[in-house]
Structure 1
Amino acid sequence: MASKVLHAIYRDDDLLLQAVKQIREARYHIGEIYCPFPVHGLDKAMGLAPTRLAITSFMYGLVGLCVAVAMMNFIMIEDWPQDIGGKPSFSFIQNMPAFVPIMFELTVFFAAHLMVITFYMRSRLWPFKKAENPDVRTTDDVFLMEVDAANHNIDDLTDFLYKTGASEIKLIE
């Protein structure tokens, strides 16, 4: 059996948020929602798990800090120690106040760049990827909700979606 999906179009973000709550209470499965802008509270209304991207950002920052410390220790202390401005290069601890800006910058650099790469990989975005937007109007002024209709009566589900405030409903097979 082919999967059936109903595309319900909503014109207002508050109406969409109320519809999501009603649809979840009725135990229908929402596959995806396409919005022209972020809707505050939509992720909680859909029951999505919180993101773990902040944890990965922290870990990437720690990697950047470790790379900065190892790089400066090797370059400025072990490999080629120099007396710059009267500051001796006997140990990393003695010179650490001068290294703080570099440690900060590499922490931010690693966290930012690796987060962008992680976000694109997690979202399955890459160059030359074909857009997956089912309706071009969702980039401008309407909200589209995909509701799984495989195991439900299409007419009942369509009536229910109209009652939640949908302005258009289209069956996709």
Structure 2
Amino acid sequence: MDAVGTLRSSGVKIQEAYTPFPVHGLDDALGYKPSNLPIAAFLFGLTGTICALLLTIGTMGYDWPMDIGGKPYIPLPHFIPVTFELTILLASLGMVATFLVISNLKPWGHDPFMFDGRSTDDKFLLVIDLDKNKMDKDALTNLFKQTGASEVNSKIVENH
């Protein structure tokens, strides 16, 4: 966390950080904005509610109205289970799809890529795009060494 703060205060733009376990506060230190996933969940849930109500009201009230014991054609309390289930279904499926798109985890046409396999075991990685930073490679290497990096590697990565 201290290294991220030092690098960011030096003007280094960090593209991504890979850690073997969740580090609380790292998102704030990297300057990530809050996700819009809750807004998407609300919109997908609202879509599910509207679809369920249109389906049930359209079916029971207009397409096939039945007079059952003098009850109204559109009994809204009877539609609650269908409305609830469709709301949850569309909200959850929509959130999964939105998460996959936002995180660039599309299951089609994408080969898995890992900068270093040790990041899933015991190493912390910071990914820097040299083209987006004002410092040259040697200055960045020295800055990383000053912040306590045990190893500094450079890789050419295309289409990531």
Q: Which band: TM-score by shorter chain?
A: 0.7 to 0.9
- Correspondences of 1:60-139 after superposition (within 5 Å): 60-82=44-66, 86=69, 88-90=71-73, 92=74, 95-128=75-108, 129-139=110-120
Identity of aligned residues (%): 41
Provide, for residues 55-98 of structure 1, a one-character-per-residue CA deviation record: whole Å limited to 9, x for no partner. Answer: 111111111000010000012222223456x47242x2xx1112
Provide, for residues 140-159 of structure 1, a one-character-per-residue CA deviation record: whole Å limited to 9, x for no partner. Answer: 22221012334423333222
Relative contact order: is structure 1 or structure 2 higher (C-alpha 8 Å, sep ≥ 6)? Answer: 1
Shift in alpha-carbon separation, 1:28–1:87, aligned structure 2, 3 A: farther
Structure-2 residue corresponding to 1:45: 29
Query: Can you give the 5+ residue segments of structure 2 that lack an aligned partner in the other structure?
Result: none
Give yes or no for the alignment of 1:24 onto 2:8: yes
Give yes or no for the alignment of 1:56 onto 2:36: no
CA contact (8 A) 1:60 1:114 kept: yes
Shift in alpha-carbon separation, 1:20–1:78, aligned structure 2, 3 A: same
Provide, for residues 125-146 of structure 1, a one-character-per-residue CA deviation record: whole Å limited to 9, x for no partner. Answer: 2225211211111122222101
Give yes or no for the alignment of 1:171 onto 2:154: yes
TM-score normalized by the length of structure 1: 0.79
TM-score normalized by the length of structure 2: 0.84
Cα distance in 1 for residues equivalent to 2:7 and 2:44: 39
Cα distance in 1 for residues equivalent to 2:20 and 2:60: 51
Cα distance in 2 for residues equivalent to 1:83 and 1:117: 41
Aligned length: 153
Cα distance in 2 for residues equivalent to 1:155 and 1:49: 30
Cα distance in 1 for residues equivalent to 2:86 and 2:9: 47
Query: Can you give the 5+ residue segments of structure 1 that lack an aligned partner in the other structure?
Result: 1-16
Shift of 1:165: 2.0
Structure-2 residue corresponding to 1:152: 135
CA contact (8 A) 1:28 1:148 kept: no
Structure-1 residue corresponding to 2:19: 35
